[in-house]
Amino acid sequence: MTTVTTATSQRVQLDEHAADELATTLRGELVRPGGGAYEQRRRVWNGSIDRHPALIARCAGVADVIAAVRFARTRGLGVAVRGGGHSFPGYSVCDGGLVIDLSPMKGIRVDPEAGTARAQAGVLIGELDRETQAFGLAVPAGIVTHTGVAGLTLGGGMGWLMRKYGLTIDQLRSVDVITADGDLVKASATENVDLFWGVRGGGGNFGIVTEFEFQLNPLGPVVLGGPIYWPMAESPKLLRFYRDWIADAPDELMTMVVHRRAPAVSFVPPELHGQLVVSVAACYAGSVEDGEKVLRPLREFGSPVLDLCEPKPFVVHQSMFDPIFPHGWWYYFRACDVAELTDEVIDITVEHATRIRSPLTAFPIWHLGGAMARVGEDETVFNGRAAGHTFNISAATETADGFDEEREWVRTFWSALAPFHTSVYVNFLMDEGNDRIRQAYGPAKYDRLAALKRRYDPGNFFRLNQNIPPV
């Protein structure tokens, strides 16, 4: 007998025969406690999350997903659904229940003539980029290649191409979904239109998406991109210059400001390692020549200590931040959108940036707008398209050592910005409670989502997520 946790958090005994039966039904592997495979598979990206599921169903295909859902449903088991495992609060692993692990589902099919790509639920951003860039095409997605396409898309999907081509959901054409009953439902602009609206920002609340179909866009394959660094002391002036300079930025240009201690990596000279710096990382999704012209005023501002902005394959640019967000470190994260970088917002930012202790902490401020802001607020669930910037106030330590202090720095900084918060992106929430989820969607969309949840998941089977309980 194995002790398992039900969807309503009760502890019950599960007959070993039942687990054996699931194991034989699956084409993929069923991982149970004990042994190296279990230790490896229960871990998610955020090392501060330490949960012990009773079973991990490594799904090889749609039939495995259906079997896992029905197995958990029949026995009232709690479930976690895992794509890339990058949920900041660790929603893709549970204590005592069943993890439906989609990471083995790696199918990708690019149709260059139709300009579309299909990706299964275990595909990571870097894997999708590699396949699409072989044809000079791209789906706008995130900025770290080891993030899952599934979780990212279901929340919205922000990245280097969003000002040019919109969010990931703006390029989504259809999804295949396994519902809480274990049935396959398709959703698109012409089929189950309400569900299609709900999956474009509503997360995993309505079912398990097994496959995504995206519209593709021309890109590169070479882009002008990379960070330019200044000493932190130049941050107040730089941020004011930056605010004016981006006011006229073309859609091709996406930038983010990052404050941190310079990382001890090979492309940063040793004398800068550990020094407080401010950088602007850029990606120009147009011709390199045009990008050089647009970026010149920024590169000539003040006294940069390092300029790594250069022409490079988009896939190389995409992996730029991978080494600073590795698996297993301890991360804490709070986010907010602001309308603009006012003098007050800049002063608060600089004040807290100069207090960064951990050499691993780096917080990006994203520039929004462009194509993502031209899609109507009601067309998708994603909220906050009109915001000017998103703050990712994130802190990292290698282990538990120093984590509490860094977390406190994040909370204090986030609270200081509270008078300027406009909205928040649901994929950038921690475990912050239902009021924050409601805030993230706004009351009208939240109520519509709750009604949709009642239709597709009235028992709240899919509850380990930024949860919208059914009305």
Ligand X SMILES: Cc1cc2nc3c(=O)[nH]c(=O)nc-3n(C[C@H](O)[C@H](O)[C@H](O)COP(=O)(O)OP(=O)(O)OC[C@H]3O[C@@H](n4cnc5c(N)ncnc54)[C@H](O)[C@@H]3O)c2cc1C
Residues interacting with ligand X, by CB under 6 A? 45, 81-88, 91-92, 102, 121, 142-144, 147-148, 150-152, 154-159, 203-204, 208-209, 325, 427, 465
Sequence-separated contacts (24+) of 268-275 with Cβ below 8 Å: 268/229, 268/306, 269/306, 272/229, 272/305, 272/306, 274/359, 275/231, 275/232
In the complex, minimum distance from the CB of residue 163 to ligand X, in angstroms, rounded to a whole number = 13
Task: Please report how close the Cβ of residue 226 comes to ligand X at its closest, in angstroms.
Answer: 16
Closest CB to ligand X among 278 and 362?
362
Q: Smallest gap, in angstroms, from Cβ of residue 354 to ligand X?
A: 24
Shortest-Cβ-distance residue relative to ligand X: 151
Nearer to ligand X, 251 or 457 (CB): 457
Q: What letter does residue 120 receive in the DSSP assignment?
A: E
Supply the minimum distance, in Å, between the C-beta of residue 104 and ligand X. Answer: 12
394 vs 332: CA distance, rounded Å: 6
Minimum gap (Å) between residue 244 Cβ and ligand X: 26
Whole-angstrom distance, CA of residue 129 vs CA of residue 7:
36
Residue in 119, 313, 92 with CA at minimum distance from that of residue 219: 313
Radius of gyration over alpha carbons of the chain, in Å? 22
Give the nearest distance from C-beta 449 to ligand X in angstroms: 14
Closer to ligand X by Cβ: residue 158 or 393: 158
- Closest to 59 (Cα-Cα) out of 109, 98, 4: 98
Residue nearer to ligand X on the CB measure, 163 or 305: 163
Strand partners of residue 366: 256, 390
Residue 54 or residue 144: which is nearer to ligand X going by CB?
Answer: 144
* SS3 assignment, position 245: helix
Work out the widest C-alpha separation in the chain, in whole angstroms.
69
Find the shortest distance in angstroms from Cβ 314 to ligand X: 14
Whether 308 contacts 128, CB under 8 Å: no
- Asked if residues 392 and 364 have their Cβ atoms less than 8 Å apart, the reply is yes
In the complex, least distance from residue 49 CB atom to ligand X, rounded to whole angstroms? 10
SS3 276: strand
CB of 149 vs ligand X, minimal distance in Å:
7
Residues 6+ apart with CB under 8 A from 177: 184, 185, 186, 187, 195, 199, 206, 207, 208, 209, 210
Extract the tokens encoding 185. Answer: 């439902």
Q: CA dihedral defined by 258, 262, 268, 273, rounded to 10 degrees?
A: 180
457: its two tokens: 């998941």
